[in-house]
Amino acid sequence: MKLDTLRGHLDALVLAVLEPGPLHGYAIISTLRTRSGGTLDLPTGTIYPALRRLERAEYVSSDWSIVGGRKRRTYELTAAGRRALASERDTWKAFSNIVGGVLGTD
């Protein structure tokens, strides 16, 4: 899948991956890959800027932790991030219904 296709949706995807609990960057990449059936195999150069953007917006917080004996930055949703994710889901459902209706995929 082209990165251009993800433009505008990556933040919502990252928020959704973090919904169950905290993850470090590589685990976020791995979870996106797994949940997408291997379609989303994103480079770290795509994910880490998104995480920094989400942290600046106060949708995620981060802290250093030890994972597998290695020091890693772990990210988790904030209350504002949960609200943003709910809003993104509502927006996506509405958009998907509109596009599906126009394209005739319903």
18, 60 in Cβ contact below 8 A? yes
> Which amino acid, residue 8?
G
- The 10s digit of each residue's pLDDT in 74-85 is 999 999 999 999
CB 15 within 8 A of CB 77: yes
pLDDT band at residue 8 under the 50/70/90 scheme: confident
Structure tokens at 30: 């791995």
Q: Domain-by-domain residue ranges, the chain?
A: 3-97
| pLDDT recorded at residue 4 | 58
pTM for the structure as a whole: 0.86
**Alpha-carbon distances of 38 from 35, 51, 52, 58, 87, rounded to whole Å:** 8, 21, 24, 29, 26
pLDDT for residue 19 is more than 70? yes
CA atoms lying within 13 Å on the CB side of residue 91: 9
Residue range 3-97, CATH number:
1.10.10.10
Tokens of 60: 């995620």
